[in-house]
């Protein structure tokens, strides 16, 4: 699914002519598309098609190409594409906030068109199909598809930058945009910076934490990852121009040192800054006057938008000023070509240009830089590349510049023209080899393979909500069993968590349920808690048949013996003296954080802290802790808003296994918990055990989830 189909439709003599379009995205996906035998759905490139012609175009595209068109009216296209897509998202995501508009009617049209695309997909997509959505025009589409096809595997790729949260939060409808993207199973970006910015926005604006790029959304995992888009390197490297190819350079130009830039007219491309730096280059290095020519190719784009009209006017004036100032009778410093150039013509220019001057202010990837290198089958030439281009992360051997630093760019032009041929070849061979390894085909296959893998993993990690029919099924399993073992966490599971004891005292309803449940002779009921053993024994003294696991598994109370037994005879707590100062440092530096201490664990809780600040502190703290716990009987565990350091040999899971060793006849097992310590218990229990998590914001090994303790109390009430 992309905004536009990879086909050009033209009208000529009242007939519609169809021609495959060429481009990076089409090249990369067309082979995958053919292999997977699906449908490509998008806008056909023309609007307000008469109703009598729509079915003709529809049938032609579907039959010959397996393309499915989404027809738009001119007013829809204006508000959707020229409006919100290119007047709000495009400039803001390219850090041009001064050129960004926030228009409610354009936003409404954008939503309506995304719904129109969704409706068209639903005519073709099965409930478990794989759907790949592309780019900023369709940010809401994954969320819409998820609601209609909850079991589908949905991928989304953004081909432009994703901005920092300070910029993204300027969008009045930012929440809906994020939720739309989060309808995906996998969200792809060109660079790690864009991925990082997206995850930061999810944390700060949607309160969604991630673990190594994975978030939990509506009880399913959503992954964000980096996939730098490549090009068809072999095609450019091996390209043979026709014998009678058009000559793009006259004889005089061919004798000069050529600097080349190729851009679409856009405010993000840095063309004005580049021209100013070229002017400064001629001032600073006058020895190049008459010996070098700058060929500036600019393809017309969005010419009806005022900002682009203003940019074009400034560009024309600046080219005129430079040529008027430096031209001689037989030399013009800037050759300005305001038109599109064929791919054959571009490759010819790439191979003749001594320097490729690629300096966008901000660009998602910039394939021109890669095309220039791939075209140089002689390995000569120098690439000057902006640090604002996504390609900069892969092409570190280029001359990297700040696109706003006029002096640096002027100096880089001189350095590029002076760079020895041996050094040029050495750098370019490294970069071309890298581009070959991760070309456009590898990019497409990598994303699709990862999407399918993550989709399958998501099915395994997704919990099922504890509905009444499922409760009834569990009750029936309980009834038909001869011997039962039930593990019940306390804080957050039977009562809402609180640091104050008086707020979590067991009420009469809980005591009554536990008393009834534990008094059944064929039941063994074990209360599992992080709390102190003396407090637990005091609170539940009226439940005389209840067993208790206290302090995260350190102590086990068996009602038959009426005594406590330690899980380990010798518990070393000296390690806490080394860990506590580190945690205290990060408590002091993170308002709202606090430490929870147990004999075998220390936990840093940041539930009440600013999530973005806590995330930064968390990374620093984890690095410091890793150097201390390495090689010791300690482990670091991360849960929901907590990080704990604990002894390896003590856990709720190990305590549960100790009890199960005594219950070999059990044919019904159930375990309920709410935090990271309970995950150890879920992992240690047999597959046949009924496991329930009281929380659904994070992924769990439990089979079922319920949103609050009320769901567990309802289930226990049904059981008793």
pLDDT of residue 207: 82
Residue 246 pLDDT > 60, yes or no? no
Q: Per the domain annotation, does 458 fall within a domain?
A: no
Label residue 298 by pLDDT band (50, 70, 90).
very high
Overall domain count for the chain:
4
Q: Per the domain annotation, does 416 fall within a domain?
A: yes
Q: Distance between CA 538 and CA 230 in Å, rounded?
A: 66
Do 603 and 529 lie in a common domain?
A: no
pLDDT in tens, 454-492: 887 666 666 788 899 999 999 999 999 999 999 999 988
Do 188 and 207 lie in a common domain?
A: yes
Q: What is the mean pLDDT of residues 59-65?
A: 91
**Per mean pLDDT, which of 634-643, 655-664, 695-704 is the most reliable?**
655-664
Q: Per the domain annotation, does 445 fall within a domain?
A: no
Select from 197, 226, 255 the last residue of a domain.
226
Q: Which domain holds residue 681?
A: 464-567+650-719
pLDDT of residue 140: 98
Q: Distance between CA 663 and CA 558 in Å, rounded?
A: 13
Q: What is the mean pLDDT of residues 681-704?
A: 83
pLDDT in tens, 386-444: 999 999 989 999 999 999 999 999 999 999 999 999 999 999 999 999 999 989 888 98
Do 249 and 220 lie in a common domain?
A: no
pLDDT in tens, 180-209: 999 999 999 999 999 989 998 998 898 888
Q: Per the domain annotation, does 447 fall within a domain?
A: no
Query: Mean pLDDT in the chain?
Result: 89
Question: Under 8 Å CB-to-CB from 631, ≥6 apart: which residues?
Answer: none
Select from 596, 623, 647 the last residue of a domain.
647
Q: Per the domain annotation, does 452 fall within a domain?
A: no
Q: Distance between CA 594 and CA 380 in Å, rounded?
A: 60
Do 86 and 203 lie in a common domain?
A: yes
Percent of the chain at pLDDT > 90 equals 57
CA-based nearest residue to 86, from 74, 71, 101, 69 = 101
- Give bridge partners of residue 225 from the DSSP assignment: 188
Do 78 and 157 lie in a common domain?
A: yes
Q: Which residues are catalytic?
A: 489
Percent of the chain at pLDDT > 70 equals 94
Q: What is the mean pLDDT of residues 575-599?
A: 84
pLDDT of residue 109: 98
pLDDT of residue 640: 65
Do 238 and 134 lie in a common domain?
A: no
Q: Distance between CA 186 and CA 346 in Å, rounded?
A: 35
Residue 82 pLDDT > 80, yes or no? yes
Select from 647, 675, 700 the last residue of a domain.
647
pLDDT in tens, 268-286: 999 999 999 999 999 999 9
Residue 178 pLDDT > 60, yes or no? yes
Do 277 and 173 lie in a common domain?
A: no
pLDDT of residue 460: 60
* 600: CATH: 3.30.70.1020
Do 79 and 192 lie in a common domain?
A: yes
pLDDT of residue 244: 54
pLDDT of residue 530: 80
Assess contact for 18 and 9: CB atoms under 8 A.
Answer: yes
Q: Per the domain annotation, does 446 fall within a domain?
A: no
Strands 642-647 and 601-605, bridge-based pairing:
antiparallel
Burial degree of 103 (CB within 10 A; 0-12, 13-18, 19+): middle
Q: Per the domain annotation, does 306 fall within a domain?
A: yes
Q: Distance between CA 186 and CA 452 in Å, rounded?
A: 9
Do 507 and 620 lie in a common domain?
A: no
pLDDT of residue 504: 79
Q: Per the domain annotation, does 327 fall within a domain?
A: yes
Do 240 and 192 lie in a common domain?
A: no
Task: Name the least confident of 55-64, 89-98, 346-355, 564-573.
Answer: 564-573
């Amino acid at each position: 699914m992309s905004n536009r189909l990879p086909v050009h439709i033209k009208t000529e003599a009242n007939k519609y002519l169809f021609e495959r379009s060429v481009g990076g995205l089409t090249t990369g996906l067309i082979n995958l598309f053919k292999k997977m035998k699906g449908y490509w759905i998008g806008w056909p490139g023309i609007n307000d098609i008469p109703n009598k012609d729509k079915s003709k175009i529809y049938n032609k595209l579907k039959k010959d190409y397996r393309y499915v068109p989404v027809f738009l009216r001119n007013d829809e296209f204006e508000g959707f594409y020229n409006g919100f897509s290119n007047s709000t998202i495009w400039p803001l995501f390219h850090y041009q906030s001064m050129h960004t508009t926030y228009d409610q009617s354009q936003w409404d049209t954008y939503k309506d068109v995304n719904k129109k695309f969704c409706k068209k997909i639903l005519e073709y997509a099965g409930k478990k199909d794989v759907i790949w959505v592309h780019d900023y025009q369709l940010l809401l589409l994954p969320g819409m598809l998820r609601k209609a096809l909850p079991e589908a595997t949905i991928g989304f790729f953004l081909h432009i930058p994703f901005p920092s949260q300070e910029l993204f939060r300027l969008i009045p409808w930012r929440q809906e945009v994020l939720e739309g993207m989060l309808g995906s199973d996998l969200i792809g970006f060109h660079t790690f910076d864009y991925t990082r910015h997206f995850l930061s926005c999810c944390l700060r604006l949607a309160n969604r934490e991630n673990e190594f790029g994975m978030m939990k959304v509506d009880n399913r995992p959503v992954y964000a990852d980096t996939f730098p888009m490549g090009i068809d390197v072999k095609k450019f490297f091996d390209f043979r121009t026709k014998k009678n190819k058009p000559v793009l350079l006259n004889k005089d130009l061919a004798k000069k040192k050529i600097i080349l830039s190729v851009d679409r007219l856009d405010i993000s491309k840095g063309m004005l800054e580049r021209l100013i730096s070229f002017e400064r280059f001629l001032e600073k290095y006058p020895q190049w006057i008459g010996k070098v020519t700058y060929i500036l190719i600019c393809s017309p784009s969005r010419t009806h938008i005022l900002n682009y009209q203003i940019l074009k006017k400034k560009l024309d004036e600046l080219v005129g000023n430079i040529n008027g100032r430096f031209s001689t009778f037989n030399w013009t410093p800037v050759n300005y070509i305001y038109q599109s150039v064929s791919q054959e013509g571009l490759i010819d220019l790439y191979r003749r240009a001594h320097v490729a001057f690629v300096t966008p202010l901000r660009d998602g990837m910039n394939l021109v830089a890669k095309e220039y290198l791939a075209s140089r089958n002689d390995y000569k030439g120098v690439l000057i590349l902006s640090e604002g281009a996504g390609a900069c992360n892969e092409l570190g051997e280029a001359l990297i510049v700040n696109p706003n630093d006029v002096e640096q760019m002027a100096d880089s032009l001189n350095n590029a023209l002076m760079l020895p041929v041996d050094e040029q070849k050495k750098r370019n061979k490294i970069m071309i080899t890298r581009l070959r390894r991760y070309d456009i085909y590898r990019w497409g296959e990598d994303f699709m393979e990862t999407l399918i893998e993550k989709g399958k993993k998501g099915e395994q990690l997704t919990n099922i909500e504890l509905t009444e029919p499922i409760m009834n099924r569990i009750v029936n399993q309980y009834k038909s069993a001869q011997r039962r073992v039930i593990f019940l966490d306390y804080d957050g599971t039977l009562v809402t968590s609180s640091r104050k004891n008086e707020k979590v005292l067991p009420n009469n309803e809980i005591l009554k349920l536990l008393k009834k449940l534990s008094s059944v002779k064929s039941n063994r009921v074990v209360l599992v808690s992080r709390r102190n053993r003396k407090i637990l024994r005091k609170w539940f003294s009226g439940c005389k048949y209840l067993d208790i696991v206290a302090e995260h598994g350190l102590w086990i109370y068996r009602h038959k013996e009426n005594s406590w037994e330690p899980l380990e005879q010798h518990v070393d707590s000296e390690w806490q003296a080394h860990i506590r100062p580190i945690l205290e440092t990060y408590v002091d530096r993170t308002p709202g954080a606090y430490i929870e201490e147990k004999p075998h664990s220390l936990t840093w809780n940041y539930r009440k802290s600013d999530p973005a600040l806590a995330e930064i502190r968390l990374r620093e703290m984890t690095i410091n802790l890793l150097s201390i716990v390495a090689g010791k009987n300690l482990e670091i565990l991360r849960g929901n808003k907590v990080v704990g350091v604990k002894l390896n040999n003590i856990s709720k899971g190990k305590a549960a296994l100790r009890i199960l060793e005594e219950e070999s006849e059990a044919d019904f097992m159930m375990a309920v918990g709410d935090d990271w310590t309970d995950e150890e218990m879920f992992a240690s229990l047999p597959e046949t055990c009924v496991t329930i998590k009281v929380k659904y914001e994070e992924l769990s090994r439990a089979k079922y989830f319920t949103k609050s303790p009320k769901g567990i109390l309802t289930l226990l009430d049904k059981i008793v």
